[in-house]
Structures are given as structure tokens and as C-alpha cells.
Amino acid sequence: MTKKIVFICVCTALAGTVFSLLYSFDSRRKKYAEYDGKKYSVSAKNIDELRNIAENFGISVNFPESVQDIKIPMEFNEVYEDYNRLQYDIGMNLEDYRGEECLLYTFAINKEEVLHMISWNGQFIGGDISQKDFFGKIISLSSKFA
């Protein structure tokens, strides 16, 4: 009986160690991204960190108007391919997160525009600036003050 318990404990510890190693070596886990030749933190574990990321792009926001669960599709259609190209300017690529559950934060910038920020496991992975009008323009975060 004692050998069985020891065996179970050892197996559990090994499984935990393997999971921790795989989690820490996930190539999608980043601490920084680069925009305009400067590195910025992509940590998005709370609203303050998201606001700090927005400030890197010259955007000042308060609290999100909404937070939604979204899923990045496994297959990108033309719309998603175009949207993903917006992310390249800010050092991001949503292809790395296909099939992943994420959070979409929507912040008001002004009466006409909103800021969308996407986070995955406490990490900023992309976003855009959109006009509130249904047929409004969507631009990269790097385009706001270009």
C-alpha cells in the first residue's frame, strides 16, 4: 500500500513538473513586443496594465465599457487576415493564437471611437481602434497619431 502511494505521489509530481516546463516554454508567452523601435510590456493581467499598453500608443482610456469572451478562429477568412495584418505594426500576430479563448476589452476613446484590446492568459496579443459607426473604419493602434 505504501509503495502505491509513493508511486502516485511521484507520478503526480512528475506530471506537474512537465506541465510547468511546457507552460513556461510556450513560444507564445512574451514579456515584450516592439512598436516604433521600442519595447513595451505585453502583460495584461489587470485593467491598469491594459491602460499602460494603450498609453504606449498615445491612447488614454479609463475603464472598459465591456469585456467579452471570444475565440480566435482556427481558420482565418479574408476579414481575419486583414485584421491580423493590423497587428503586425504593433509586433503581434494572431495566427499564434488560433483556436484560443481570449478576452476582448472595449474602451471608449471619445464619442466616435473605441479601443479594442485582446488578451490571452493575461497577455496582450492585439487590438484595434474602431469607429463606433457600424460601417466605420478600423485602424491599427500604431495609426492613431500617424
pLDDT at 29: 66
Q: What is the mean pLDDT of the chain?
A: 83
Please indicate, yes or no, whether residues 136 and 76 belong to a single structural domain of this protein.
Answer: yes
Contacts of residues 97-101 at CB distance under 8 Å and 24 or more positions apart, as own/partner, are: 97/28, 97/72, 97/125, 98/72, 98/73, 98/74, 99/71, 99/72, 99/73, 99/74, 100/71, 100/72, 101/69, 101/70, 101/71
Please indicate, yes or no, whether residues 1 and 55 belong to a single structural domain of this protein.
Answer: no
**With contact defined as beta carbons under 8 Å apart, do 61 and 54 qualify?**
yes
Please indicate, yes or no, whether residues 39 and 77 belong to a single structural domain of this protein.
Answer: yes
- Region 37-44: mean pLDDT is 90
Please indicate, yes or no, whether residues 20 and 38 belong to a single structural domain of this protein.
Answer: no
- Region 40-55: mean pLDDT is 95
Please indicate, yes or no, whether residues 21 and 56 belong to a single structural domain of this protein.
Answer: no
pLDDT at 12: 53
pLDDT at 144: 62
Please indicate, yes or no, whether residues 19 and 45 belong to a single structural domain of this protein.
Answer: no
Please indicate, yes or no, whether residues 38 and 4 belong to a single structural domain of this protein.
Answer: no
pLDDT digits (tens, 9 = 90+) for 108-117: 999 999 999 9
* Structural domain of 12: 1-28
pLDDT digits (tens, 9 = 90+) for 69-127: 999 999 999 999 999 999 998 999 999 999 999 999 999 999 999 999 999 999 999 99
Q: How many domains does the chain have?
A: 2
* pLDDT exceeds 90 at position 42: yes
Please indicate, yes or no, whether residues 63 and 131 belong to a single structural domain of this protein.
Answer: yes
Least confident stretch, 4-8, 35-39, 76-80: 4-8
* pLDDT exceeds 50 at position 24: no
| Residues sharing a CB contact under 8 Å with residue 22, sequence separation 6 or more, in sequence order | none
Q: Kindly report the pTM of this predicted structure.
A: 0.79
Please indicate, yes or no, whether residues 23 and 71 belong to a single structural domain of this protein.
Answer: no
Name residue 134's beta-bridge partners: none
Please indicate, yes or no, whether residues 48 and 113 belong to a single structural domain of this protein.
Answer: yes
pLDDT at 13: 44
Please indicate, yes or no, whether residues 39 and 59 belong to a single structural domain of this protein.
Answer: yes
